[in-house]
Structure 1
Amino acid sequence: MPDHTAPDATPTGRLSRRSLLAASAGAAAAIGAAGLPVLATGTPALANPGNASKLRVEPLIPARNRGIILYSVRDRITAAPDDSGVPYGFERVLARLAEIGYKEIEFAGYTQSTEILGRQITPAEIRKILDDNGLVANGTHASIQPATFQQQLDIAEELGMKNIGTGSDPTSSAYKAEWDAAADIWNELGRQARARGMRLYTHNHDAAYSFLIDRGPRDAQGRQTRSSGIRRLEYFFEITDPRYVFFELDIYWAYVARYKHQKYVNPAGQEVTDLFDPILTVADRTTRFPLFHAKDGDRDTSVPNGYQMTPLGDGDLNFQQFFQTIGERNFHHANWEMDTAPGGADNKGQSLDFAATSYRNMSDLTIYVEK
């Protein structure tokens, strides 16, 4: 069971041209079969005035838990001073993000142009900027290595983080032995993080939800060549200590995994189709996911990933269904991300404009609760 004594583990045009409530019948059936709440495709409770009087509307993602990873606006964090009028560097960019409404910041590095201060900024100076703007550091994508982990914890502590993580998988291998070895390392590093009041987390791309190679005949190198059907990161869930190892689901990459990784060869040599459901993989262990990347995408089967990244609310991913079904809305923190947000020299303000659009659309996600 998840450890509720971990730091902060307290369970408890606008949004898209697509209907957020248009959950597919197949998805609804799967969720219902798993014994989880199924999001309706309309608002029947409000159709009856007697029911409506017993309900109130609340944000699905509380304002205090709406964040952004600075990778989305990396072009402006790292920009040298210019006369474009677009904010640059930590001081100006973080002030703009706070003005938009964001309350939390996930870091993707701690450096800016040395032209701003005549030297590199320090973590202590970044912390002051956060505090001055009412912002909280909720995580980071750092390099998680045993040799430098205490140094990374020092920086995270200086910035006031309760979570420390990485944008990389614990291993890029498809083989069980490498995931077993990674689990040993992560359990120990997670123990060190917990001792300093933090959670250690890993962030997925699509390959993390491809199938583990752990069965069948061996190749010339002695490696097995077939699969039991378990997915790599889902195996990692089971072999890591839930007190020490946590996860940040990138919702976009999870749906890319659903599109790309559907088939495996079983121990008997037969091809098996198995659809991955991002909602169900979280709902079964929801408090192991303190953080999410709320990244949207347009469905496009002409590209290898099956989706093109968009600002939140402009794509096809059903964030309403996702966050409502996984529950624990006061526990989860959603960080907006769009890898392709920077507009380059021709549109220096694009990433911050997309940040504003995405914040408005994240704020529009609501839930009906009993008074």
Structure 2
Amino acid sequence: MNDQHGRRTSRFTRRDVFKASAGAAAVLGAAGLPVLATGTPALADDNGRKNRHGKGLRVEPLIPSRNRGIILYSVRDRISAAPDDSGIPYGFERVLARLAEIGYKEIEFAGYNQHTSILGRQITPREIRKILDDNGLVANGTHTSINPATFEQQMDIAEELGMKNIGTGSDPTNSVYTADWDAAADTWNDLGRAARKRGLRLYTHNHDAAYGFLLDAGPLDANGKPTRSSGTRRLEYFFEKTDPRYVFFEMDVFWAYVARFKHHTYTDRRGNQQTDLFDPILTVAPRTTRFPLFHAKDGNKNPAVGNGYDMVPLGTGDINFQQFFQTIGEQDFHHANWEQDSAPGGAANPGQSIDFASVSYTNMSELTIYKR
């Protein structure tokens, strides 16, 4: 359906709730995990009284307002913009004020720099923290470089900004071999332990390749490397090799559904092709408290493109966020950061990323859950 401005909007129906993950309800039920109710809930009236169909149900936001965030990569063009007279916000002070006005409560960082002409120098983390505080915003994480050489310095910045989570937009390793993921797990366990001592959670963010299959079986190549797969996915292997007290995850929901589209076959140890359909919900649900953060990034299905989806503002695409966030549960624990890599409109439409941030916040706020 379209709104009054001609923009496509999402309207979740009972049918929508069940269509995203084939067989998910049966598998979740068998595993003792939450399954969406089959009845059709009714609303209480404006005064909280039961209407004749309500049976005591009430409606609440699926993503609490305090947990609705944005990664600044989505509006990177306006953070980095030089001062102009267009009326479109630029730099941290103006952009963060506008995001708070839209309704966002949390900020995930993607760098700490703005155009130096704004202040005549680069802004400092302490100055950014004041802007956050002045606008009632909380830093919930960051995409920075995670390595032992600079980790203490990055934690210093995280603490200055008031973060509880520190992370990266890169995979722990790009390798397809278990030995490299084992080494990465050792490093991340050590760094995660150091982070916990300072009141931080260390997290890694996925793209689709992280849910590709390991090469861990079958004949060896000339370098002694395995050439086939047991069917184990890279990041799922990392789940088990890392300590749940020290290492956490941020699922990018868009890239998880791209992984479902792209990474569904592998060659087993005997040389036979096998099919294994990736399910983002069933990946999170058994370990839901290892995922404090999510990228709520939407997409329209498009099999003609390599990723199978085109990125669009949240709530205007085909990904069923209602089902996703309701089924994984723990809505008070999870923090949803809107992201759209393609949000900047360039010189032709310099205000596009801020406009998309507004549309996406509205659609995020309209996701609801029913409780007694």
- With the length of structure 2 as denominator, give the TM-score of the two structures: 0.93
* Residue-by-residue CA offset, 1:201-256 (whole Å, 9 max, x unaligned): 00000000000111111001110011111100000000000000000000000000
- AA paired with 1:165? G
State how 1:292-303 maps to structure 2 within 5 Å.
292-303=294-305
Which residue pairs with 2:225 in the alignment? 223
Query: Contact conserved, 2:17 with 2:323, CA < 8 A, in 1?
Result: yes
* Gap change, CA 1:331 and 1:252, over 3 Å in 2: same
**Aligned partner (choices 187, 204, 217) of residue 202 of structure 1:** 204
Aligned residues: 357
- AA paired with 1:16? T
Query: Contact conserved, 1:20 with 1:320, CA < 8 A, in 2?
Result: no
Q: CA deviation at 1:59?
A: 0.2
Query: Contact conserved, 1:20 with 1:318, CA < 8 A, in 2?
Result: no
State how 1:139-178 maps to structure 2 within 5 Å.
139-178=141-180
CA distance in 2, matches of 1:212, 1:54: 49
Whether 1:31 aligns to 2:25 is yes
- With the length of structure 1 as denominator, give the TM-score of the two structures: 0.93
SS in 2 for 1:106: strand
* Gap change, CA 1:140 and 1:240, over 3 Å in 2: same
- AA paired with 1:39? L
CA distance in 1, matches of 2:10, 2:96: 29
Which residue pairs with 2:47 in the alignment? none
Q: CA deviation at 1:278?
A: 0.1
Which residue pairs with 1:44 in the alignment? 40
CA distance in 1, matches of 2:267, 2:308: 22
* Residue-by-residue CA offset, 1:92-116 (whole Å, 9 max, x unaligned): 0000000000000000000000000
- AA paired with 1:44? T
CA distance in 2, matches of 1:116, 1:27: 47
* Gap change, CA 1:186 and 1:90, over 3 Å in 2: same
* Residue-by-residue CA offset, 1:25-60 (whole Å, 9 max, x unaligned): 68353332232333358x623299666141111000
Identity within the alignment, %: 73
- AA paired with 2:241? I
Whether 1:305 aligns to 2:304 is no
State how 1:133-282 maps to structure 2 within 5 Å.
133-282=135-284
SS in 2 for 1:190: helix
Whether 1:326 aligns to 2:323 is no
- AA paired with 1:105? I
CA distance in 2, matches of 1:173, 1:261: 15
Cα RMSD of the aligned pairs, angstroms, is 1.7
CA distance in 1, matches of 2:253, 2:99: 22
CA distance in 2, matches of 1:224, 1:23: 41
Query: Contact conserved, 1:31 with 1:280, CA < 8 A, in 2?
Result: no
* Gap change, CA 1:352 and 1:25, over 3 Å in 2: closer
Query: Contact conserved, 2:28 with 2:35, CA < 8 A, in 1?
Result: no
Q: Mark the runs of 5 or more structure 1 residues left unpaired by the alignment.
A: 1-12
Q: CA deviation at 1:141?
A: 0.0
SS in 2 for 1:269: coil
Query: Contact conserved, 2:78 with 2:91, CA < 8 A, in 1?
Result: yes
